[in-house]
Amino acid sequence: MDRGMEEQFYRQLQDLPRPRYAFPDLVNPCIDQLNAEYNEWIDTDCRFESTTAREAHKRHRLTDIAARAFPGLTLEELRPVARFTAFLAILDDYMDDSGSHELAKVGERVSKLLSGEEAGEPEPGFYRQVYMIRQDSVRCRMPPHLYRQFVDSILTLLAGYGDEKQYNAAGRPPPFPVFELIRRQSSGGVCYAKYLCMQKDYRLLPDWVLAHPTMLRMHDLVGSIIGYHNDFISLPKELSRKGDVVNLVITVQHEFGLSLTDAWHKALEIHDARLAELVRLQGQLPDFGEWQRTAQEYVADLGVMVQGVYAWHVKSSGRYVAGAYVEPEHDKDRPSPPAYSYTGLGARRWPARIVPWLWPLAALVTLAGCLWLLGGTGCVRSRVF
């Protein structure tokens, strides 16, 4: 990344209009306690990163996203969604240059861990944090049907992230309708909307309420809005890096042939249209009978959630300033990133250099490792975050 170019883009874009929300800006009282735990998680399970990267991720305060989005959860209830938030963002950075096939392998094991198909606790690393999402969900008594919906949304996010990778690798944004679908999936907003059922008494809402088309449309809108406001904040970073093209402003600029400033304004209009639809639907719910008041409170808290995620971007995080991005490290010391990507998520143990006569042995080790993973011993970027 060109640090000077990134600083220039931050200066150039800082005075342009930003998303604005009328929703309450609330903070969970457990925010600092959760952040302290987050720092411990990084020290224990991010040994695959350098010390510099770990310290940078601590400054990003990634669990503050959950603490601001869910101000009414207990610390115990926050842990599953906080782990999901933090470690998908860290994985995002770590595997930013990886191909979709590599990420698919990671996603396969994530699915097994979240479903319980792989029941044993992994060694310290990324996968242990995924395992702990399930364990913490059990501890906070998350209803099984809500947990399944949350897991399904995570796996859908991983699929969207894989689609992003294909367009980033080509260096060309997708057509706008395709972009809308991918960004809604990959932002993490739908995952948050599903997890919101753990707050207050929303877990009591029957499936016929939560699965109503109006509710599902609001989930989609939240997914889009959270993705879009992240795209405004992260644009300077993405403009200064090669290949980061799945961004609302960049896609609009390419789709309509606009200048960067005009594309920003057009993108903000698109964001505001989605926001206006969300607010309209919040005020015009169907008749849910005895569940009407609870449903009204739930959709109101969808707005609080949107505000909370945005507030993290502009108030809590050290992630969106020039030089703060954690560049992918898994290819710096190794000639072949795919050979080490999966074990690297557990421990930093690759050789600094492989001499030429060891290449055949390295290839055999790589093949054996892949077969081992496919045998079941063996998501991915939450670009929200």
Give every CB contact of residue 143 below 8 A, 6+ residues apart in sequence: 203
Specify the pLDDT at position 378.
Answer: 37
Specify the pLDDT at position 342.
Answer: 33
Burial class for 327, CB neighbours closer than 10 Å (0-12, 13-18, 19+): middle
- Within a 13 Å sphere around the CA of 366, how many CA atoms are in the beta-carbon half? 15
CA–CA distance, 115 with 211 (Å, rounded to integer): 22
CATH of region 3-377, choose from 3.40.50.1000, 3.40.50.720, 1.10.600.10, 1.10.3720.10: 1.10.600.10
Contact call for residues 341 and 331 (beta carbons, < 8 A):
no
Six token digits for residue 215: 């509710």
Other beta carbons within 10 angstroms of residue 370's beta carbon come to 15
112 or 238: which leads in pLDDT:
112
Contact call for residues 87 and 191 (beta carbons, < 8 A):
no
CA–CA distance, 295 with 170 (Å, rounded to integer): 43
Is residue 192 scored above 90 in pLDDT?
yes
Give CA 15 to chain center in angstroms: 27
- Within a 13 Å sphere around the CA of 30, how many CA atoms are in the beta-carbon half? 19
Specify the pLDDT at position 322.
Answer: 58
Band of the pLDDT at 95, cuts 50, 70, 90? confident
Give every CB contact of residue 92 below 8 A, 6+ residues apart in sequence: 161, 380, 381, 382, 383, 385
Is residue 374 scored above 70 in pLDDT?
no
Contact call for residues 128 and 48 (beta carbons, < 8 A):
no
Closest to 69 measured CA to CA, from 36, 23, 114, 37: 23
Contact call for residues 343 and 123 (beta carbons, < 8 A):
no
List the domain boundaries for the chain: 3-377
Closest to 176 measured CA to CA, from 240, 246, 231: 246
- Within a 13 Å sphere around the CA of 109, how many CA atoms are in the beta-carbon half? 25
CA–CA distance, 302 with 278 (Å, rounded to integer): 9
Contact call for residues 147 and 133 (beta carbons, < 8 A):
no
Is residue 353 scored above 60 in pLDDT?
no
Put residue 257 in one of left, alpha, beta given phi > 0 → left and psi -120 to 50 → alpha: left
Six token digits for residue 197: 């059922």
Specify the pLDDT at position 377.
Answer: 37
Specify the pLDDT at position 73.
Answer: 99
Q: pTM of the prediction?
A: 0.85
Largest CA distance in the chain: 73
Strand ranges inside the chain, DSSP E: none
Mean pLDDT of 145-151: 98
Band of the pLDDT at 331, cuts 50, 70, 90? low
Angle, vertex CA 95, rays to CA 91 and CA 98, nearest 5 = 150
Band of the pLDDT at 339, cuts 50, 70, 90? very low
Band of the pLDDT at 131, cuts 50, 70, 90? very high
Six token digits for residue 265: 């304004």
